[in-house]
Structures are given as structure tokens and as C-alpha cells.
A and B are shown apart, each in its own frame.
Chain A
Amino acid sequence: MIKKSGIGLAALTLALMTTALPARADFWSDAGAKYKGVVLHGVTESTPPSNYIKDVLAPEFEKKTGIKVEIETTSWDQMYDKAIKDMEAKTGIYDMIYIEQDIIYAYLARNFLVDITKSLKDDPSLKSPDYDESHYTTFANYFKNADGDIFGTPMEAFIKVYLYRTDLFNDPKIQEAFKKETGKDLKPAVTHEDYTEIAEFFTKYGKDNGLDLWGTTAQAHTGHPASWYEFFESIAPTFGVFNWGVDASKNYAASVENGGTMNSAESKAAMKYWLHLRDIAPPESAASTWTEVGTTFAAGRVAQGLVYGENAAWIASDAEKSKVVGNVGVALPPTEAKVLEDVKAGKGYLGYYDGGAFGLPVTSKNKEASLLFLQFIGQDSVQPDWAVAAPRITNTATYDDPKIVDMDKKLNGYYSMLKNDGKLFAGAPPYPFHAQVREATAPIFYKILLGEIPSDEGLDQMAAAAEAELKNLGYRK
């Protein structure tokens, strides 16, 4: 009798509890209920990670929350153009914008972005139990302010790696020919000298054998900023020229005369090295930006090259787009021997750690709903499939997921390199004048590429132009 009453009481309590408490299907449906019918607008660059947000994550989020997300994927310059104009004019068209790693400092300087950490602290009802900022890799540090608050959900993160064709490098006939020509074994380059030798060998090999094959890629467009970036972010650091040769601690000096390194002997050597490579690269190199370099490699037109990691996955694994599937090796970029030692000791970096985040403009009209979406794409659970679809890892747990371990094998260790050697790479320096200095020096840079100015003289002019621009902007006193 007592037992029966007890069961009845328990059942009654349970029934009361289930009716008194709101239904908690999961956090997303509960939190999203308030914003059902809201349409969020985001703008981003058309890249594999962004397309994944548009095609997969946005529909999933809508299904769970009832909040519709429309993602506009466009070109790099259009993406900036639209986002900046929207934030400046305070029109509030966009609720989410792509923040490239190098523009974040300019955005923060202008208070364009919502402090995500603070916003979630201020309104705990918006905080998902599945979202934790501490799960991000150290790349997230680029999107934090001095207090450690985050201003963007990391969504792209990749390093610019040295890719080489394993089918060519492992071909006994080619190995023998290389040995005969150089007296050395053919293996991925470690130094600039090695790299140049291999590049020269393959360009000659291609020509002698009537093949569409060259020794190296070169992202050397003569009118587009991509070439400027290749030099200052990928080539110059391997010679020991960091932060574009601008030293913030020395009153933003760029010239050697004032304490900078933009026109240093190392910088000049780097330029000569790169121009020589450009000259023995495929003819399209003079019109190649970051995308075309990946395409050139994927088309099997080069034996080796520096390629942005975001392209590494499809080059190595997507047979519909790439002719070199299964034949792609990954290595660290070649450097001057001393530079690698210094970098390993924590002085400088040897390549570019690029990527971006999805941020929330202060002008957004749907901040709360956007905060939900930003957490949704920042959770651990959505990361592995995203990392398989697009080669990016932003959360530490992703590395150990079986899908990623498997993918890492296909990519010959790209993810392992990101995990183990990511620390040797760095993003853009924390300068708010990024685009301004680039644009002030780029016209001279293009003249160097076209041979209109000797490279040493050109770098001297660029250092002077950078300092003048920094003075004009009010940074250099």
C-alpha cells in the first residue's frame, strides 16, 4: 500500500514537473524560439569554409532554431567593400561579417565589432552549454583584445605550406637525373639554395622533355596585392624579415636607416631569390593570385610550390578538380638555416598563418540571434565534418577526431603539421594600417616585378613610401 502510494506520488511529482517546467528539447530550439522568423544576413569571401557555412551550417541552424541565415559569398575585395561600407554607414544590413586575420586590428581600432565574450557574459541566457572559447586553438588569439575577449568565431585557419609532387620526387629516373645534374639526392628543399636548385632542375626537365612542367609556383601578379603578400608574408620571413620589415618599437621604422628592415640586405636577397623563381615559374605566374597558384599546382604544372593550406585539401584529395591526387607531399617552407633556428627559439616566424573569423558588427539589428549562430559554428560538434569539407581547424579537439586522422593521411600530414608546427607560423602583425601601407608601397613593388626599377632601389623606395604613409596616417612621429 505504502509502496503503491509512493509510486503514485512519484508519478504525480514527475507529471507536475514536466508540466510546470518549459520543454527543453535542447538549448538551440529553446534559445532560438524567441527569435523565430528572424533572418540573419552574413557576408563572407567565397572560400571552401565559407561555402560550408552557407550550404551546411546555416540550414542546420535554421532547422534547430527557426532562425534563417542567409550567407552571401563573394570575392575578397567585394566582401570587404560591402562589410566596411555597411559598418561605416551604420545601415545594419549585415549581422555577420568575415573578419580576415589582418583586418581585425583596423576593425577593433574603429570599434566596429561586438565583444562576443562580454556579450555572452552579460546575457547568460544566450550562452550555449556546448560552446566554450577555451576549446579554440591558439589561432583564436588573433581575434582577441588586450583583455582576452574574443571578437570573432574562428572559421578559417590555415598555414601557407610547401607542397611538392611525390610522384616526381620519388621517380627513380628523375632522382637519377637530378643526382647527375646537381650531385645531390632529390628530396624536399630545406634551404633556399635547395629550393632554387630543384626549381631550376624541373623547369629545365620540363622543357627538355616537352612537358607542361615547371619547377615552382609564383604568386606574382603584377597589379594585384596577392604578389605583395607572397613576398612579405611568405618569402621575406624565411630570410628573417618579419612584420613586413616595419618595426613598431622603433617609431614604425621601415628603412634600415631608421631601424626597420624593409630594405635590409636580407630583404633584398629575398627579393632576388623570389624574382628568380618567378622567372622560371609557369608563364601564368605573372597574372597569378592566391587562387591561381593552387590551380597551377592542381593542374600538375609544377613540381613544388608555396600554396595556401585552404587549397591543400582539394589539391590532394579531390580528383574532380586536381590531377595530382595522391601525389602531394607537405613540408615546411625552405628557409635560411639561421632563420629556422631563430624561429624555433621563438624569434620570428617562417610563414603565414592565415584565416579568419565570423564577427558581429555593432551595427547589426539582430545581435542576440547572431550571437547564437556564432556559437553554433564555434561548437566542437560541428568541426570535424567542416574540417573534412574544407581544410581548416579552429578547435583543438578536432585534431583527434577519426575523420580528421584519416584525412591527415590523405593529405600527407597537413593537419599534423598544422597541429605540431602551427606555432612556427604567424598571422599579420597587429597593425591597424594594414591596407594603407600595402597600397602605398604596392605600385613600387609592381614596378620591381616588371623590371622598371632595380629590386634594391625599389625596396629602398618602398621603405621610404611606407614611412611617409605611416607619418601621414599619424602613427610615425
Chain B
Amino acid sequence: MRSNTVGWLMLAPTIAILGIFGIAPFLYVLYVAFHQWNPFGASPLMIYNGADNFRRLVFDPEFLRSVAVTAKFAFFAVVSEIALGYLLAQLFMREFPGRGFFRTIHTLPLIVAPIVVGSVWRLMTTPSIGIIPYLLKQWFDYDMNIGRDAGTAFALTVIMDIWHWTPLVTLTLLAALLALPKEPFEQAQIDGANRWQIFWHVTLPMIRPAILATVFIRLMDALRTVDEVWMLTSGGPGDATRYVGLHIWKIVFPKTDYGYGAAISVIVLYLTLVMCWILYVSLVARRERKRVA
């Protein structure tokens, strides 16, 4: 009984912080989501409108388009980051001159603020000014214009995200790889397994928790990306890169449609949870059940 009290007392600060900064704002957003509220409208009052905001978003083509393009962005960005991050982690496992230096250099993008990343990439990709369009023109006679070409703008946002966040994946997987015991690998080699078999049957199962954790983190980040993309394309051309985070920002901030923006935020949170749950069930729970059986 006494130990319970001490335990609760120890937990109290964390619970209070979670309550104030996590749960309370979420409950407030949920409350706003069931209201029509535009403080800059003729009537700034908050009016309860049931599930109208949720009904509205189901038929809102702008929202649906933003979800679709975000899913596409998250897929390409996260898959590329995991693959590239793993390869780099493997590379940094090996001994080569200057390994420590390259490991450090490689993590530099992580410490750059997203808004700066967006600004720098914008500078590098602005037609007539940026180095990238210049080189593409010189080498391939290709006129890159992110103000006009939706495909290029989308690809650039993915590349920018990969550049910024792959080091995080590398660091996580490097830590996971370094922590692996040597025995299973030696055993596999003795058994005559080739590189691919070792990767598939030994390495991958052992680092799967680290990969999954990284996927979850990167997926959640990718689904709510705003600042980098805002700086690079502002959501354009047209709505080609109007990702859902940016869409919510535009609904809530310039349009000041707080009720609808809150409803979209809640749904996006729900979709993110569902996506993570599906991933968890398909990649972890099923295997765990199989293992137990």
C-alpha cells in the first residue's frame, strides 16, 4: 500500500504534464470538432453542430485529395528512408578510414530546423537561380520548374524529406546492428547460409523491433509534415503538395475555420493510429502468435 503511494507520487509529475500538455489539448480539439466556430466570422460564437464537420469532410474533395497525396508522400519517403538508412547503417558498420568523420557529417541534416531545410531546398531548386535546375539543364537539357510541374514538385518534397530524415533511420539501425550478438551470424555462416539468407533469416528478424519503431516514428512525422513543404512549394503547384498537415494549417489558420480544422485533425490522428495498428498487427502480432503457436 505504502509502495503504491510512493509510486503514484513519483508518477504524478509525468501524469500532470501528460494531462496538461497532451490530454487536455486533445480533449479541447475534440470539443471544437463538434462545433461550428469561426472567430473571424460575423458571429464569433462557437455553435454546437453535432457531427456536421465529420460529415462534411467525407465529401470534401480537397481533404480527400490531401489525404491521398499525403499517403503517397509518406509511402515513398518512409520506404526510401528505411532502405537507404539500412544500407548506410551497414556501411558505417564497416571499418574504413574516416568512418567517424563520415558518421558525424551524415547526421548533420538532423540538426537543421525544418523551416531552414525548406528554405535551402527552395533556394537550390528555384528556376534560373538554383543549382539543381542549372545542373539539370547543363547535364540533361532538362528545364526543371517546380512552379509548373506537379510531378517534379512532389518528387522534390520526397527527396528533401529523405535527405533530412534518413540519418535518423541510419542512427537507429546502426545502434540496433551494433547491439546484435555475433553467435547467430557465425552459426549461419557455418551452416552455409549466403548473404541474402543471413539478412533475411537472421539480421532482419533481430532488428525488426528497431525497424518497426523507426517506421512508426517516420510515418507519424511524414503524415504531419508542414514547414519544410510550406517553404519549398507552399503546397503547390496547385494542390500537388498540399499534404494533410498543410491542408489543416490552411483551414485553421488563414481560413480560421477552427471547427472543421479540428475535425480534420481528429480524423487524421485516427487514420494515423489505424495505419500504425495495421502495421503492428501485420508485422508483429501475427508473427508473435505464430511463434507462440
Contacts and interface: CB of A to CB of B under 8 A. Distances in A.
Contact of B40 (A80, A221, A432): A432
Interface string B96-129: 0000000000000000000100000000001111
A301 B235 contact: no
B233 A223 contact: yes
Contact of A284 (B42, B62, B126, B250): B126
B239 A443 contact: yes
A177 interface: no
Given A436-B40, A439-B250, A223 B148 contact: no
Contacts of B129: 284, 295
A221 B240 CA distance: 13
Contact of B41 (A212, A223, A438, A473): A473
Given A436-B38, A446-B238, A282 B148 contact: no
B147 A110 contact: no
A287 interface: yes
Nearest to A106: B40
A284 B235 contact: no
Residue picked from B148, B233, B240, most chain A C-beta under 10 Å: B148
Contact of B128 (A84, A220, A284, A439): A284
Contacts of A436: 38, 40-41, 254-257
B5 interface: no
A295 to B, nearest CB: 8
B230 interface: yes
B225 interface: no
A80 to B, nearest CB: 8
B121 to A, nearest CB: 12
Nearest to A452: B238
Interface string A283-294: 111111000100
B53 to A, nearest CB: 13
A438 B233 CA distance: 18
A110 B40 contact: yes
A77 B230 contact: yes
B43 A474 contact: yes
A75 B118 CA distance: 13
B256 A435 contact: yes
Given A223-B234, A224-B236, A287 B147 contact: yes
Nearest to B253: A81
Contacts of A439: 250, 254-255
A435 B241 CA distance: 21
A440 B255 contact: yes
Contacts of A84: 253
B146 A287 contact: yes
A32 to B, nearest CB: 36
A450 interface: yes
A222 B39 contact: no
Given A88-B39, A110-B44, A474-B43, A223 B235 contact: yes
B254 A438 contact: yes
Contacts of A288: 147
A433 interface: yes
Nearest to A80: B253
B145 interface: yes
Contacts of B145: 283, 286-287
B238 A283 contact: no
A450 B150 CA distance: 9
A286 B147 contact: yes
A278 B143 CA distance: 17
Residue picked from B38, B145, B236, B250, most chain A C-beta under 10 Å: B236
Contacts of A127: none
Given A435-B254, A436-B40, A443 B126 contact: no
Nearest to B41: A473
Contacts of B256: 435-436
A211 interface: no
A447 interface: yes
A443 B62 contact: yes
A300 to B, nearest CB: 12
Interface string B27-58: 00000000000111111100000000000000
Interface in A168-203: none
Interface in A442-476: 443, 446-447, 449-450, 452, 472-475
B143 A433 contact: no
A109 B148 contact: no
Nearest to A289: B234
A102 to B, nearest CB: 12
Given A283-B127, A284-B129, A436-B256, A222 B236 contact: yes
B164 interface: no
A450 B237 CA distance: 7
B242 interface: yes
Given A223-B235, A223-B237, A283 B255 contact: no
Contact of A447 (B233, B238, B242): B238
Contacts of B62: 443
Nearest to A444: B238
A308 B49 CA distance: 44
B229 to A, nearest CB: 10
Interface string B250-288: 100111110000000000000000000000000000000
A472 to B, nearest CB: 8
A49 to B, nearest CB: 22
A282 B128 contact: yes
A93 to B, nearest CB: 17
Nearest to A453: B238
Given A284-B147, A285-B147, A443-B62, A301 B40 contact: no
A372 B240 CA distance: 48
Contact of A473 (B42, B230, B250, B253): B42
Interface string B132-145: 00000000000101
Given A77-B230, A223-B233, A450-B148, A443 B238 contact: yes
- Shortest Cβ-Cβ A-B pairs, 3 listed: A223-B236, A286-B147, A474-B42
11 contacts: A84-B253, A110-B39, A110-B44, A221-B234, A283-B127, A295-B129, A436-B255, A447-B238, A450-B238, A452-B238, A473-B38
Interface of B: 38-44, 62, 115, 126-129, 143, 145-148, 150, 230, 233-242, 250, 253-257
Given A110-B39, A223-B236, A447-B238, 12 more contacts: A88-B39, A222-B148, A223-B239, A286-B145, A286-B148, A287-B147, A301-B128, A435-B255, A436-B41, A440-B255, A446-B237, A449-B237
